[in-house]
Amino acid sequence: MKKNISSIIFSLFLLSSLCFASILDNSYKIYSKDADTLFMSALSAINSNPRFEITEIQSRNGYILFLYNSKYYLLTLTKRYQNQTEIKILPQNSDYSLGSDVAQSIFASIDIQLRTQPMEQVK
């Protein structure tokens, strides 16, 4: 009986960790753009959506803190290589129930923006 309970608990733990891994995989994306251009695109994408309220911007560190549906989200940019930048969007309260939907919405807006209005590198 003890073995069955521990097996069930382990299965639930494994299932929940797979679910969170999937959500986290949908919360970041790598772009073939420099960090400055991508930061401006992300800022524009968030600012263009009236449901998002920007509360703090740090361009030097590459992050934007914004509010959506009474929850805070943090968008961070990390330069990986010369022309490759990673964007990560995660909720600040560790509630990942809507996190990937918000991230996918912003990524879609950035993708459209980069396709229709290519920006030049900021120097």
pLDDT confidence of residue 56: 92
Measure the CA–CA gap between 13 and 32, rounded to whole angstroms. 36
How does residue 119 score in pLDDT terms, banded at 50, 70 and 90? low
CATH number of 27-116: 3.30.530.50
Please write the tens of the pLDDT for every residue from 48-68. 999 999 999 988 778 999 999
Enter the tokens of residue 86. Answer: 């990673």
Average pLDDT over residues 17-30: 67
* Three-state SS at 86: strand
Of residues 94, 54, 97, the one with CA closest to residue 75:
54
pLDDT confidence of residue 115: 84
Average pLDDT taken over every residue of the chain: 79
Residue 14 pLDDT > 50 = no
The β-bridge partners of 72 are: 67
Phi and psi angles of residue 74, each rounded to the nearest 5 degrees, phi first: -120, 120
Q: Are 41 and 118 in contact (CB under 8 A)?
A: no
Average pLDDT over residues 71-88: 88
pLDDT confidence of residue 19: 46
* Three-state SS at 94: coil
Q: Cβ atoms within 10 A of the Cβ of 57, count? A: 17
